[in-house]
Amino acid sequence: MNPAEGSGGVSSAEGAGVSSAEGTGVSGVGDERLRRWRMVLGGGGADGTGCELGGRDAAMDAALQALYGGAGDKEGRRQGRERTAGLGGSAPAVARWLGDIRTYFPSSVVQVMQRDAIDRLGLSALLLEPEMLEAVEADVHLVGTLLSLNKAMPETTKETARAVVRKVVEELEKRLSTRTRATLTGALDRSARVSRPRHHDIDWNRTIAANLKNYLPEYRTVVPERLIGYGRASQSVKKEVILCIDQSGSMAASVVYASVFGAVLGSMRSLNTRLVVFDTNVVDLTEQLDDPVDVLFGTQLGGGTDINRALAYCQSQISRPAETVVVLISDLYEGGIRDEMLKRVAAMKASGVQFVTLLALSDEGAPAYDREHAAALAALGAPAFACTPDLFPEVMAAAIEKRPLPIPDTAAA
C-alpha cells in the first residue's frame, strides 16, 4: 500500500498532506516511505517507524492530531491510532488551527478538513463569531452550513457571513455564467425556427433533410423548396423556467448552485425565470433573483418536505405549458401526498410542460434518495438523476429544445 493514500480509518485529508518531502530533510525513497508512514500513523516520537518528525512535518502532524485525534475520536481509537491532541471548544485555538492548515495544506484539502472539523467536533457554533468566519476557507459546503445557522446568527455576525457567502457566489457565477448563457442562447434560437429565414439564419442540416425528396441526380443537388432557419434573437420571452428547490438539510449544496443558476437564467431576457423553495411550506423568491445572496438568505435549510404542495404552487404559475420547463431539485423523500404529487407531474407533462427531476445539483453525485418515487417519476417520462453544475446548461438546453436529456449512465434512477 502507498502510505500517502492512508491506512485503515485514516482520513483522506491526512494522506493528502504527506505527498511531498520538500523542506523536511528527507532523502531517498526508503526514508520518504518511513516519513509517510509516520505522518499517517500519528503518535509520538518515531512511533516505531524509525523516523521522527521535525520542523514543518511536526507542525503538519500537530494540525492533523488536533482534528483526527483527541478524546472524542472514537473511530481513531477503534483503529488503534494514537493521536491525542484536540481543538476543544476554544475559539482562539480553532482560529490558530485554521491558520495552520491554510499554511500547510492546499485549498482543496483545507476545505475537506474544515468540513470534518464541523462534523466531527461540532464547531458550528464557533462559525457564529465574525473573527472565526474571517479565518475559514470559503466554499459551497461552508455556505450551506452558514445558511443552516442563519436563524441563530447574531446581528454582529450576519454582515461577515454575507461577505463570505457573496465571495463564494461571485466565484461560482464567474465560473458558470458565460457557458450557461452561451448554451441556452443557442438552444433558444434553435427552438424558435422560422420558415422564411434570411440566408445567414438558414439551418442547413434540417433544410437538406426536409428537402431530400427534391434531389436532382443530373445536377447532383437538392432543391430547397422549404427553408428552415434559426429564429433571430429577440427581446421577447421565449420560454418560461420554474426552478423548484427542496431546501431540506441534505440539499444544501444544491440550493447554493440552484440559486446561482437562477440568477444567471433570470438575467436572460428571453427567459422568464421563477425560483421557488420549499420544505413543508412554499416560498417564491423570484423577486430576489437579481441577487443570489438574498435568495440564499431567504432559504431555511432543514425541516420536512412537501413536494406535492410545492408542485401545486408551480402548476398554478404556468400560463404557457408548451413553452415551460419545470425543474424539480429534490431527493424525493416526500412528506406530502405521494399520489397527488405524481398526478401533478403527469398533468403537467400531458399539457406540454418539459419536466426535469434532479436528485442533486452538486459536484458530489447522487445523495440518498427515495428510489420508489424516482422509479414512479421515470415511468411518467421524468427520469430522476443527479446533475453536476457543469452538466446543468446542457440539461436545460435539451429541455428547451424538447430533445432527450443528457443523462449520465451512472446518474439515472
126-153 average pLDDT score: 79
The answer to whether 390 touches 383, Cβ cutoff 8 Å, is no
Look at residue 126 and tell me whether its pLDDT is greater than 50.
yes
pLDDT on residue 264:
94
Of 301, 347, 341, 318, give the one whose Cα is nearest residue 144: 301
pLDDT on residue 109:
84
Burial of 106 (0-12, 13-18, 19+ CB in 10 A): exposed
pLDDT band at residue 332 under the 50/70/90 scheme: very high
* Higher pLDDT pick, 81 / 203: 203
| Domains observed in the chain | 3-18+29-137 (no CATH), 179-185+235-401 (3.40.50.410), 193-230 (no CATH)
Of 108, 105, 101, give the one whose Cα is nearest residue 87: 101
How many CA atoms are closer than 13 Å to the CA of 307, on its beta-carbon side?
Answer: 25
User: What strands, in cross-sheet order, belong to the sheet with 324-329?
Assistant: 282-284, 271-278, 239-246, 324-329, 354-361, 384-387
114-143 average pLDDT score: 77
The answer to which of 65-69, 84-88, 396-400 has the lowest mean pLDDT is 84-88
Q: CA–CA separation, 135 vs 150, rounded Å?
A: 19
Look at residue 144 and tell me whether its pLDDT is greater than 80.
yes
pLDDT in tens, 379-395: 999 999 999 999 999 99
Q: CA–CA separation, 258 vs 264, rounded Å?
A: 10
How many CA atoms are closer than 13 Å to the CA of 391, on its beta-carbon side?
Answer: 17
320-326 average pLDDT score: 95
pLDDT on residue 275:
95
Q: CA–CA separation, 189 vs 234, rounded Å?
A: 9
Q: 425560483: which residue's cell?
A: 275
pLDDT in tens, 233-257: 444 668 999 999 999 877 888 999 9
188-208 average pLDDT score: 69
206-232 average pLDDT score: 78
* 327, β-bridge pairs: 243, 356
b/e sequence 112-148, b meaning 16+ C-beta within 10 Å: bbbbbbbebbebeebbbbbebbebbbbbbbbbbbbbb
pLDDT on residue 380:
94
First CA to last CA distance, the chain:
35
Look at residue 81 and tell me whether its pLDDT is greater than 50.
no
Alpha carbon of residue 245 to chain centroid = 13
Alpha carbon of residue 413 to chain centroid = 18
Look at residue 411 and tell me whether its pLDDT is greater than 60.
no
Most confident of 29-33, 130-134, 261-265: 261-265
Bridge-based pairing of strands 215-216 and 221-222 is antiparallel
130-142 average pLDDT score: 80
The cell numbers describing 50, all together, are: 524509525
Q: CA–CA separation, 228 vs 201, rounded Å?
A: 9
Q: 424538447: which residue's cell?
A: 402
Q: What is the pTM of this model?
A: 0.67
